[in-house]
Amino acid sequence: MKEFIEYLVKHLVDKPDQVHINEVNGHNTIVLELRVGEGDLGKVIGRHGKTASSLRTLLAAGAAKKHKRYIFEILENGEKNPIQSE
């Protein structure tokens, strides 16, 4: 799933070489922390958070097949973005 989200995000941003996803594994939950280059954060979040919401929907659909729970976090300068959810 990490590679799938990374592929999608790299095609959304202007600086694909600065896209980094950190995967943190838990017992039944996997957290994907996304960091993008300066100026690309808005492209990943989208207008009113619609792009981020769509990425989370795709992630949830793929996670259902694996019987895992994924949390997608968008980080800015090492901090969590207020537009995040499970």
Summarize the confidence of residues 22-28 as an average pLDDT: 89
Confidence at residue 75, expressed as pLDDT on a 0 to 100 scale: 92
- Is 2-80 a CATH 3.30.300.20 domain? yes
Q: Is pLDDT at 81 greater than 60 in this prediction?
A: no
Note the pLDDT tens digit of each residue in 57-70: 999 998 888 888 99
Confidence at residue 80, expressed as pLDDT on a 0 to 100 scale: 54
Cα–Cα dist 54/50, whole Å = 6
Look at residues 82, 78, 60 and name the one whose alpha carbon lies nearest to residue 20.
78
Q: How many residues does the chain have?
A: 86
* Whole-prediction pTM: 0.80
